[in-house]
Chain A
């Protein structure tokens, strides 16, 4: 049994989540800090399904990664406002502190990492793909014994980097953590970092060598994930050591 989920096997039930706080991360991204009564705990990288029901009975369901670590009491869901996205529009615009919505989870034992999984931890993401990886970094940050870790984060601009302040604070106090941004469309003045899409040279420079046997997690839009994971394999990383999560209506 390789199932990594916590607790005994049980049917997945819909539960009520109550919004306790809303954090504005960037102009298009908010994090919902929610309380779920009887939450049985999760592993970093897992997701939840959210179900919204309209008055006429119409239901819409989406999946969101959990961005908070298992150590925290509140479940953090980071939501990007998508053009014409019925669920994200509601979660972004309508939901207030104290409101409730239906959620089920935690889901998925595959795209998970804990400090006991070993490392080094190699995280590669684009845009809001950082959310499940943030749960891993926050979990690692809560532990005294931390192995080496890398976050390579592709964002259009520095302003659109989610959790930026927290990532920088984390990296400042932790010499084993490297946070590398590549800003693909707009860079601040004097920017000396990467300014292009992830390519093989960037991965070769930034990533752990294959001999270090890193655990790689790649999360983002489908073309990003396919290209980054293919480049990692070309650099000699074991395909089985690379786990991917693509965005979509039932995923990320």
Chain B
């Protein structure tokens, strides 16, 4: 609704980007933080949108759970901060 440069969003906002990585909508999947152990639905995480992609952080402890970036060399998904995704 706005084109302001405002970068902190909800995980729901990353749904379009993550759809480029997954065929299913993963924003309704659950994930467990590898740091504090909290589980969240992806759509409820904090998303920090960056020009090349997004960083999804745990909404309890701010640990980085997922990084999704698009580069000329392909799409990269790094999720070492998350223990799992449960669909």
* Chain A partners chain B: yes
Interface of A with B (CB < 8 Å)? 1-5, 9-12, 47, 49, 62-65, 78-80, 82, 85-88, 104-105, 107-111, 128-129, 131, 221-222, 243-252
Interface 0/1 of B12-56, CB less than 8 Å to A: 111111011001110111000000000001111001010000100
Interface of B with A (CB < 8 Å)? 1-17, 19-20, 23-25, 27-29, 41-44, 47, 49, 54, 87
Complex CA–CA separation, A171 to B27 (angstroms): 32
B25 x A108 contact (CB < 8 A): yes
Interface of B is mostly: mixed
Report chain A residues within 8 Å CB of B4: 82, 85, 247-249
Complex CA–CA separation, A222 to B14 (angstroms): 16
Report chain A residues within 8 Å CB of B41: 110
A-B residue pairs in contact (CB < 8 Å), sample of 11: A104-B16, A108-B16, A108-B43, A109-B28, A110-B11, A111-B12, A128-B2, A243-B12, A250-B14, A251-B49, A252-B9
Residue from A10, A11, A85, A108 in contact with B27 in the complex, judged by beta carbons closer than 8 Å: A108
Report chain B residues within 8 Å CB of A247: 1-2, 4, 6, 9
